[in-house]
Structure 1
Amino acid sequence: MRFKQSKWHLSFKYIIWVIFPLFLNFLVEYLQRETILETWRWIQTKPYTFMVGYGIISLVFIGFYFLTARTWSATLITGSLFLVGALINYFKMELRGDAFVPWDLRLGKELSNIMEHISIEFTPQMMGGILFVSLFFIGTLFLKEKKISWRARLVGLSVSLISFMVGFYTLFMNKTNMNALGIYEINWDQVRNYNYNGFLVGFMVNTKNIIIMEPNGYSKESVENLLNSVNVTSENNVKPNIIMIMNESFWDPTKLEGVTFSEDPLPTINKLRKEAVSGWLLTQQYGGNTANTEFEVLTGDGMMFLPNGAMAYPQYVKEEYPSLASFLKEEGYTTVGIHSYQKWFWNRDEVYPALGFEKFVSDEDFNDPEIRGNYISDEETIKKLIEEYEKAKAESDAPFFGFTVTMENHAPYDDKTYPSRNISASAEGASEEVNLMLDNYVQGVKDADNALKQVIAYFEKVKEPTIVVMFGDHLPMLGNDYKVYKELGYIPEGEWSAEHYLDMYTTPFVAWNNYALKKEDMGVINAHYLAPKVLSSMQVELPRYFDYLLEMSKTIPAYSNYVYVDGEGKAQLEAPEEIKNKKQQHWLLQYDKMFGKKYSKGLLYQK
């Protein structure tokens, strides 16, 4: 039964048009802040920001109304769209300590795969939100609406779209207008961005950042001057086999205070720290986004210059892209990429050839491999690496570059990961959940260390000069909202210091060779410095771009969106102005390579 067309009926319809976006906007923020009081406090302090969010929802609602010519469908689509976005943001915040950003929408299969391993529990707030949207939807089903002509619908839809675009351009593309309404761009910390600006406005600010702006001073002359100013390391002339292993979630759990281990979980790493090259890798990632660290190491480019939360492989590598692999390929190397997981993940099946890998080995190329935890074991992955090396050597005397990415120690770390363990870890006074996660994670670390031991044992017997490098991509996600780290006092509940950022974004690395082994502690370095620093120390000739990074590392040892490390190894939240200028020069070269006119082509990876 439907209401008869009447003035009351029309009033009810337009009340819905006004009230529904208002309450939906409140709900979106409520789901992020979890209490009505906190949500109301935020609205009181940021009324203009709240009204901008209201305007966004209203224009979307009106657009869908004219598109479908029904209030109920506009209510359902708009409600579902913003409610799902708010829920995704909530779960990502809880699980990863990071926000839902526009470029997450491009993950597709990766996102659905990640969700398979996540346990989602709906809170009363979420159920209330779903009920709220449902009630409004049910109420609009009883509305009897006049038929709208296609011309009127087209005009209405056009007006809403144009209004949205004009509003976006005049507000989000204009820093002065944003600041006048109390909206500030905090793209280096998306959690702070969303807490301060609200989910909707924070998301729209990020949408603006999809547009990559040309750096100041960008020109052919500026690019060439930077590259021509580099001191080329021409005295280096060794062409060793180069084995690089990026080990999933590899970290040093002995950094956690108050944790007791049944044995040393890192005997090989600790041995190499005494006799080979070692240090700490500053990355932009925590708990995931492995491919971004991989991108930095292989290309020398920095993720800190790209929108926070961006994924380099699926977003930016669409054609041939200069990297360490392409340089070594030009130098006569056989180049092989190995990843013990599905080849489409992070677009590696398309990206690896673009980076210069002649061959890509994925999980489907393993023959009945051993599964440890939920994935192919590190030991099996190392066997595949050695197998590919031997195949390459049987076909050619060319030096071998093998870049291997493991999967065994990927989250979650629950009772199903390692039902039986040969190493244990426990923290006195910690919860059962924390100790279980520690136990399982440490088993994976022990397996990773043992796999490295096997690699070195094999290449110790090889007569050809060979380098083996192993590093972690990011710290493990040990529980929702940094549960293990917080419960054990590794980081605080509140604001982080520069040292806390350093602790949460640095992973260990070691580098061994069989021809000129010497001890060197490189301290904390950026992920994009790893190849230049390690290969140069082992007498390998570098491309000009890596020589540039090597020079830069002397001035800026490590920096990210969160923390800066000076020449004395001291962590700071803010870098000096001269350091910012150096960073801008790096961005200028990277911009030319990624988005610009490629003035550096022919120079960048020249010796």
Structure 2
Amino acid sequence: MKRFQKYRLPLPLTLLAAVLLAGCITLLALWCQPNALRVVLAHFKAQPLLIVLNAMPIGLLLLLFTCLFRNVFFGAALVNFGVCALSIANRIKLEVRDEPVFPRDFGLLKEVGSAMGAYDIHFPVGVIAVVVVTTLLLAALGIFIGCKPFPVKKLRGWLGSLLGAAASFAVLVVLILTVYASNDLYNSFRVTNAYYIPSVFNELGFPYCFCHQFTTYPVDKPEGFRRADAESWDAQETDSVPGKPVNVIMVMNEAFSDITDSPAFAFTAENDPLANFHALQADPHAVSGHVVVPGFAGGTANTEFDVLTGMQTNALSATTTSAMRVINRNLDSLFRVFNADGYRTSFFHPGNDWFYNRENVYRWFGAEKTVFIDQMADPVYKGTWVADEYLIGLIQDEFEETMASGESLFHFTTTIQNHMSYTTAKYGEGYDFPPVDLNISVSEDVETMLRVYTEGVRDADEMLGSLWDYFAARNEPVVLVYFGDHLPYLGDNQKGYAELGYTEQEGWAELTSFETPYVIWANDAAAEALDWENAVAALELPEQISASFLGAAVLELTGRGDDTAWFSFLNDLRREAPVVQKQSCLLSDGTLTQTADESLSAAIRQWRQWSYYKLRYKEIHG
């Protein structure tokens, strides 16, 4: 019987076939996405570099497996199946969660398997069939068409195959760590909405964006981390007692600050933009100070993360990261503590649910109810953003509904009205901004920013005053927590702050530039339920605390400080070092230092290692 003769491609044709096959696999992977292929190709036509960036990793993977199998079609079959399967998974995840597939998802295969039953998943059967058939056809071609031996005799064996595969892999890794890691390159491409990650993936191409994500939103493994140690810390028993049955309302107001209290301003009691805040500070049932937040003039979601989880954004990585983007599993949070006590828990934000991936993140935080702009009826805008005034009614309605149901409420709202930029166009053409009284001279553009920003502060203060009046009149016990997420942006290179004299102040760079005001207030019913004076005295709150300690302090105030070992640890750490900000620590005696003693250093290391365990390993069901 005559032996079957396989046709063998010479090296030049093998390389040509690899290039053509890589292009075809790239097109098929893009076709698997939920958006029309013609739309993607239109973006690529306008920005041709995207063609190379999407095809390059696929081509290198194809070369890798071609070297190992010594057959370009077998290599193409495997790469086609793997890349397109990943692309289909991305399509399904976008449709289910409105979030793309990230490289870090490979570490969550167990969670993915258990979570699939919780979603109504519509598998794209036709797309899957095309991918499977294409893979089988490529494999069949590999049976009939092979590759001629490599021209260099010494490299024809397994040594040459391994060296070729290793070289392809090395080039791919270098490209991912350099070209694909470049934020400047990534941000240079035109997209419809740079903040909507699913749209960016669709427009720039899944292969390129997936490779870019290998080096974004990093979480560094802390030195000395041992999972067993963290598990033992987390499993510690605490001397918890039933929490006080008080309702807790937390409002984080966009860019809320007290910079207008600076001597540079000449406001009087008659035109004080923070009249309600100052009056509330003097209330016998209030405690106030400043929270030290993760970022300067931005990073709203990072402050949410720090306050609600007790972790620190700035400690997650040696490089800049986005806390909300590193989350991909259930986490301990204030929501879960109050859930365990039978509270109704909710989160409101008058922005899009995809921004900072809040729709998914707040589910992972344990919030039972989330309401975003698309679920808000007849929202009232001031300029381009939803007005603080509108949110007052939503919070009151949520409270009324909860009281009518006989439940207690833990609620968190993040506002948006006073978001930058602070230009005269912010509230529409012709808006009359009140003047800002100053004791110093500033440039015209800084004065404009101050007038626009201060108008937003007045509205934030009015919101606080309205909530104060409303809850003061209620018989149900309520604790109101009101604070800012970060200082406002007042020009490049901190121009506004420099002209106001802030940047010359001692401690500006280390702490003051990250400080926003907070106030915790209890109405009469809550003050009685909590034994206010003694409860506040027991908190031992200094004037400044890290945002990561604010939520834990609220838990302690309401009798829940020892409900979990985690929040109990945070309250103990706060008493030793009320502020931990990057390399600086503000000690309980007011000393600002960058050389903590061994005891404090050990506690901070434990905090970092415990946080890493929660982000990477701890399983929370429900």
Secondary structure of 1:416's aligned partner: coil
Give how far 1:534 is off: 2.9
> What's the offset of the Cα at 1:151?
11
State whether structure 2 residue 499 is matched by structure 1 residue 478.
no
3-state SS, counterpart of residue 381 of structure 1:
helix
Equivalent residue number for residue 270 of structure 1: 278
Return the alpha-carbon distance in structure 1 between the equivalents of residues 149 and 343 of structure 2.
64
Paired position in structure 2 for 1:258: 264
Structure 1 CA distance for aligned equivalents of residues 293 and 148 of structure 2? 53
Q: Tell me: CA distance 1:475–1:562, structure 2 relative to 1, closer, same or farther (3 Å).
A: farther
SS at match of 2:542: strand
Q: Distance in 1 between matches of 2:172 and 2:410?
A: 49
Rounded to whole Å, the distance in 2 between the matches of 1:451 and 1:271 is 14
Q: Work out the CA distance in 2 between the residues paired with 1:591 and 1:446.
A: 40
Q: Which amino acid aligns with 1:372?
A: K
8 Å CA contact 2:545, 2:579 repeated in 1: yes
On the 8 A contact 1:253/1:442 being kept in 2, the answer is no
Aligned to 2:606: 585
- What residue number does 2:135 align with? none
SS at match of 2:410: strand
Q: Aligned pair in 2 of structure 1 residues 576, 487: CA closer, same or farther (>3 Å)?
A: farther
CA distance change for structure 1 residues 303 and 581 in 2, over 3 Å: closer, same or farther?
same
Amino acid at match of 1:405: T
TM value normalised by structure 1: 0.63
Q: CA RMSD in A?
A: 3.8
1:426 touches 1:438 (CA, 8 Å); kept in 2?
A: no
Preserved CA contact (<8 Å) 1:313 1:346: yes
2:543 alignment counterpart: 523
Q: Does 1:218 align with 2:226?
A: yes
Counterparts of 1:404-419 in structure 2, within 5 Å, are 404-418=413-427, 419=431
Task: Give the SS at the match of 1:500.
Answer: coil
- Structure 1 residues 482 and 427: alpha-carbon distance in aligned structure 2, compared to 1, 3 A threshold: farther
Deviation at 1:592, TM superposition (A): 1.6
Letter of the 1:440 counterpart:
V
Deviation (angstroms), 1:384: 1.0
- Tell me the alpha carbon deviations over residues 75-94 of structure 1, each in whole angstroms, 9 at most, x when there is no partner: xxxxxxxxxxxxxxxxxxxx
1:392 paired residue number: 402
1:458 corresponds to 2:464: no
Cα distance in 1, alignment partners of residues 375 and 517 from structure 2: 29
Deviation at 1:268, TM superposition (A): 1.8
Matching of residues 484-495 of structure 1 within 5 Å: 484-492=496-504
Distance 1:351 1:592, change over 3 A: same
Per-residue deviation at 1:368? 2.6
Distance in 1 between the 2:435 and 2:216 partners? Answer: 49
Match of 1:315 among 326, 341, 359: 326
Amino acid at match of 2:323: A
Q: Which residue of 2 aligns with 1:570?
A: 591
Residue number among 538, 552, 555 corresponding to 1:532 in the alignment: 552
Secondary structure of 1:530 counterpart: helix
Distance 1:443 1:458 in 2: 23
**SS at structure 2 position matched to 1:501:** coil
Is the alpha carbon distance of 1:597 and 1:509 closer, same or farther for their aligned partners in structure 2, counting shifts above 3 Å? closer
Partner residue, 1:434: 446
The aligned counterpart of 1:56 is none
Query: How much does 1:209 deviate?
Result: 8.5
Tell me the equivalent position of 1:301.
Answer: 311
Asked if residue 378 in structure 1 is aligned to residue 388 in structure 2, the reply is yes
Contact 1:267 1:449 in 2 (8 A): yes
SS in 2 for 1:453: helix
Q: Does structure 2 retain, via aligned residues, the 8 Å contact 1:287–1:476?
A: yes
Task: State the Cα distance separating 1:269 from its structure 2 match.
Answer: 1.6
Cα separation, 2, equivalents of 1:321 and 1:548: 16
* Aligned ranges 1:110-121 → 2 under 5 Å: none
- Equivalent AA in structure 1 for residue 256 of structure 2: F
Distance 1:498 1:488 in 2: 15
Whether contact under 8 Å (1:498, 1:563) holds in the other structure is no
Q: Residues 157, 408 of structure 1: CA spacing in aligned structure 2 closer, same or farther, 3 A cutoff?
A: farther
**Partner in structure 2 of residue 282 of structure 1:** 292
What CA distance in whole angstroms lies between the structure 1 residues aligned with 2:233 and 2:542?
29
User: Larger deviation: 327-336 or 415-424?
Assistant: 415-424
Deviation at 1:486, TM superposition (A): 1.7
Of 350-359 and 261-270, the range deviating more from structure 2: 261-270
Assess if the C-alpha contact under 8 Å between 1:272 and 1:278 holds in 2.
no
Shift of 1:570: 2.8
- 2:367 maps to which of 357, 367, 391: 357
The residue aligned with 2:17 is none
Contact residue 243 and residue 558 of structure 2 kept, 8 A: no
Q: In the alignment, residue 268 of structure 1 is paired with which amino acid?
A: N
Structure 2: runs of 5+ lacking an equivalent? 1-52, 61-101, 105-146, 151-159, 179-211
Give the CA deviation at 1:596: 2.9
Contact 2:382 2:417 in 1 (8 A): yes
Deviates more, 1:514-523 or 1:553-562: 514-523
1:3-61: CA deviation from partner (whole Å, max 9, x where unpaired): xxxxxxxxxxxxxxxxxxxxxxxxxxxxxxxxxxxxxxxxxxxxxxxxxxxxxxxxx9x
Deviation of the 1:297 alpha carbon: 0.9
One-letter amino acid of the structure 2 residue matched with residue 410 of structure 1: H
Q: Percent identity?
A: 29
In 2, Cα distance between equivalents of 1:346 and 1:169 = 24
Q: Where does structure 1 lack aligned partners over 5 or more consecutive residues? A: 1-59, 68-103, 107-148, 172-203
Instruction: Please give the per-residue CA displacement for 1:122-143, whole angstroms capped at 9, x wherever unaligned.
Output: xxxxxxxxxxxxxxxxxxxxxx
Mapped to 1, the partners of 2:316 and 2:148 lie a distance apart of 43
Summarize the Cα distance change of 1:380–1:212 in structure 2 as closer, same or farther, 3 Å threshold. Answer: same
Residue 596 of structure 1 corresponds to 617
CA change 1:330–1:423 in 2 (3 A) is farther
1:239–1:540: 8 Å Cα contact kept in structure 2? Answer: no
* Aligned length, in residue pairs: 425
2:248 matches 1:242: yes
Question: 1:223 Cα deviation (Å)?
Answer: 3.9
Q: Which has the larger radius of gyration?
A: 2
Asked if structure 1 preserves the Cα contact closer than 8 Å seen for 2:346 and 2:370, the reply is yes
